[in-house]
Structure 1
Amino acid sequence: MTGKRVWVAGHRGMVGAAVVRRLAEENCVVLTAGRAEVDLRRQAATESWMAAQQPDAVIVAAATVGGIYANDTRPAEFLYDNLMIEANIIGAAHQLGVVKLLFLGSSCIYPRMAPQPITEDALLTGPLEPTNEWYAVAKIAGIKMCQAYRRQYGCDFISAQPTNLYGPGDNFSLSQSHVIPALMAKAHNAKIAGAKSLEVWGTGTPKREFLYVDDLADALVFLLKNYSGSVQLNVGTGVDISIADLARLVCSVVGFEGELVFDASKPDGTPRKLLDVSRLNTLGWRAETELADGLRTTYAWFCDHYREARL
C-alpha cells in the first residue's frame, strides 16, 4: 500500500474511524470526506469528488446503520440510503479505474435460520430476519454489485461481512443503537441513578458474536493486501454469547449491581448468529481482543465522551 491513495468512505463512523486509525500505520495517503463536502447518496456529487481525488483503493464503510428499533421504524431510509451510497461509489470506482475496492457488508445478510456457524455459502438460501431485512437487502445488493463488476469488467472489488461490532465511537443513543452500546448506556445511567433494576429487551436467550472494531479495521487492511475473490468473507471471532450473559458482563464492567429484568414483549431478533470464519483464518488473520477487554476499553471511551456518546 506504499504511496497509494486510500479513500475511507464513512470515516466519521465507528468503523471508518477505526480504519483511519489502522491506516495510519501504513505508508499510504488516507482520503476522507464528510457529508458537508459530498453527499454519497447523490450520484453526481459522488462521481465528481472521486474524479477529483483519484483514489487507488476504496473502503466502503459509509452506511445508515442502527439497531432493531431503528431498522424497524425507518425501513425506507435504511433501504434507500444504503442502496444509493453503495451504487454510487461502486459505479464510480469502475468508471475511474479504481484498482481495489472493499465493500463492507453485515452478518444480517444471511438467512434468519441459517445453520450455525454461518458459512459464506448460506447467502440467499432462506428468508431474512424481518427486523433488519431492509438493511440486509441493501447490503446483499452491494455484495452482488461487487461480484457483477468483477464478472463483467474484471474489477478487483471484494466484500467483507463483519459480525456484530462494538468499540470506541459507537452510537449510544437508546433509540438507534445496537445491543452493546444500548446496554452500556442503560447500565451507566442506572448506576448513576442508583436504580435497583435494569430492563433488557427480549428474553435474553438469543446468542450473538461480537467483534471489537479495531480488530475489524485490522482485518480490512489485511484483506486489501491479501484477498482477491468474489466470495464475501466473514469477519468475526468465532465465539458467541447469550444476550443475558452479555448483559451481566456489561453490568460488571460498568459497575451496576442491580437486577436484570427481561422484557419478553420486545423482539429477540434472530435466535443465533455466529459466523464461520475459517476462510479468513486460513488466509492468516484472527481476532485478538477478548470481549471483556474490549468492553472495558469501550466503557472508558464512553465515560470520557459521555455528552458526545449520548448524542
Structure 2
Amino acid sequence: MRVLITGASGMVGQNLMRHPGLKRYDVLCPSRSQVNLLDYPQVEAYCREHKPELIIHAAGKVGGIQANMQFQSAFLLDNMDMGRNVVRAARQSGIRKLLNIGSSCMYPRHAANPLREEFILQGELEPTNEGYALAKIATARLCRYIHAEDASFCYKTVIPCNMYGPWDKFDPTHSHLLAAALYKIHRAKQEGVDEVTIWGDGTARREFMYAGDFADFLIYALAQFDNLPDMMNVGCGFDYTVNEYYRAVAEVVDYRGGFVHDLSKEVGMKQKLVDTSRLRSLGWTASTGLAEGIAQTYQWLMATKGEHFR
C-alpha cells in the first residue's frame, strides 16, 4: 500500500519513518520544498500525481504553553490551513483512507478525567492553547463530515496524549514539559546551578507517551485501519505530576540540585489524562516506561544535539 506521511520531519514523523514496520509500505514523505501544505493547489496536485492509498496527517505547528500563548493566531491559522488542505485534497483526489492525528488539547478545560472522546466540543477550551485546539477540532470534524456524506471515504482521527522522545523540540520557549525539563536540568548540571525553576506549584498532572510507542501504534493502526473507530484516544492510561516528571528527569541526568516554583506562571489544565478504553479494546498498549523513555531520549539528545547544550 502506498502511504503518504505529512510532517515526516517532525517528532512523530521521524520516529515513524524509522520504525521497521514501515518497510512493508510504499512510503511518500515529501519535504516542505516539494509540497507546501499551506498551499492547497500544491497539495491537491501532489495527491493527484502520486495517488497514495492512505494518508497519515502528522504535520503541524506545535509548541509548549509559552509558544502557544505567544503565537495563538499562527497556531490557529497554520494548523487549520494544513488540516483543511490535506483532508480536502484527499477527498478531491479520491483517496479513500486518511488517518488524522489530533491532540488532547481538543478537550474542554473543565472536562472530567479521564477524557473520553465524546467530551470534545462539550465545554470551554483551555485558553493557553485555544488556537491550536480549535484548528485540531476543525480538522477532526471535517474528517467526520466527509465520511458522513460518503461512507466510502474512511477519514479517522486519533488523539494522542502529550508525547516526548527523539526529535522533540528542546528549546524551553517552544518545547513541551518533558523536553523543557531535560533541557533545563541538563544545563543546570553542566553549569553547576543549584536550583531549577518549575512553572506553577508542580501539582498539575500530565500524561506523556514515548514517541517511539506512538510510532508503533501508527504501524499497528495501518494494519487495523478498517477496525479503527472514527475517533480514538491513544495514551498510556496513567499520568504523573509535573514535580514527578522533573524528579524523573533529574534521576536520569544525575542532577543533584533542587527545584523552586514560579507561581506567577501559567500552568494550563490541572489534569489531562485520556481515556484509553477504545484503544485497549483494539488490543494495543504502550510498552516504554517513563524512566526508560527519558533515558533513551537523553541518550539520543547527547549523541545528536549535545553541542547545543554546552
How high is the TM-score relative to the length of structure 2?
A: 0.96
Correspondence for 1:66: 63
Q: Secondary structure at the match of 1:146?
A: helix
For 1:15 and 1:175, the matched residues in 2 are separated by: 20
Correspondence for 1:295: 294
Offset from partner CA, 1:129-161 (integer Å, 9 cap, x none): 110010000000011011011001221111000
Per-residue deviation, 1:53: 1.3
For 1:222 and 1:146, the matched residues in 2 are separated by: 21
Relative to 1, partners in 2 of residues 1:54 and 1:92: Cα closer, same or farther, differing over 3 Å? Answer: same
1:188 paired with 2:186, answer yes
For 2:308 and 2:279, the matched residues in 1 are separated by: 32
For 1:14 and 1:308, the matched residues in 2 are separated by: 19
1:1-311 residue pairs with structure 2 within 5 A?
Answer: 4-22=1-19, 24-154=21-151, 155-228=153-226, 231-306=230-305
Q: Secondary structure at the match of 1:176?
A: coil
The residue identity in structure 2 corresponding to 1:136 is A
Bigger shift: residues 204-213 or 225-234: 225-234
The residue identity in structure 2 corresponding to 1:28 is Y
Per-residue deviation, 1:265: 0.6
Bigger shift: residues 160-169 or 213-222: 213-222
Q: Secondary structure at the match of 2:19?
A: helix
Per-residue deviation, 1:121: 1.2
The residue identity in structure 2 corresponding to 1:127 is E
For 2:253 and 2:208, the matched residues in 1 are separated by: 18
The alignment of Structure 1 onto Structure 2 pairs a total of residues equal to: 307
- Structure 1 segments, 4+ long, off by >6 Å, are none
Instruction: Check the 8 A contact 2:161/2:209 in 1, yes or no.
Output: yes
Identity of aligned residues (%): 40
Instruction: Check the 8 A contact 2:169/2:179 in 1, yes or no.
Output: yes
Q: CA RMSD in A?
A: 1.4
For 2:7 and 2:307, the matched residues in 1 are separated by: 18
Q: Secondary structure at the match of 1:150?
A: helix
Q: Secondary structure at the match of 1:219?
A: helix
Per-residue deviation, 1:23: 5.8
Q: Secondary structure at the match of 2:125?
A: coil
The residue identity in structure 2 corresponding to 1:141 is A
For 2:222 and 2:166, the matched residues in 1 are separated by: 23
Instruction: Check the 8 A contact 2:22/2:219 in 1, yes or no.
Output: no
The residue identity in structure 1 corresponding to 2:79 is N
The residue identity in structure 1 corresponding to 2:223 is K
For 1:249 and 1:241, the matched residues in 2 are separated by: 10
Per-residue deviation, 1:235: 0.2
Offset from partner CA, 1:151-203 (integer Å, 9 cap, x none): 01221111000000000110001110001010100000000001111111111
The residue identity in structure 2 corresponding to 1:225 is A
For 2:132 and 2:234, the matched residues in 1 are separated by: 18
The residue identity in structure 1 corresponding to 2:265 is K
For 1:50 and 1:308, the matched residues in 2 are separated by: 39
The residue identity in structure 2 corresponding to 1:222 is Y
For 1:71 and 1:132, the matched residues in 2 are separated by: 5
For 1:147 and 1:86, the matched residues in 2 are separated by: 13
Q: Secondary structure at the match of 1:195?
A: coil
Q: Give structure 1 stretches of 5+ with no counterpart.
A: none
Q: Give structure 2 stretches of 5+ with no counterpart.
A: none
Per-residue deviation, 1:24: 4.7
Per-residue deviation, 1:307: 5.2
How high is the TM-score relative to the length of structure 1?
A: 0.96
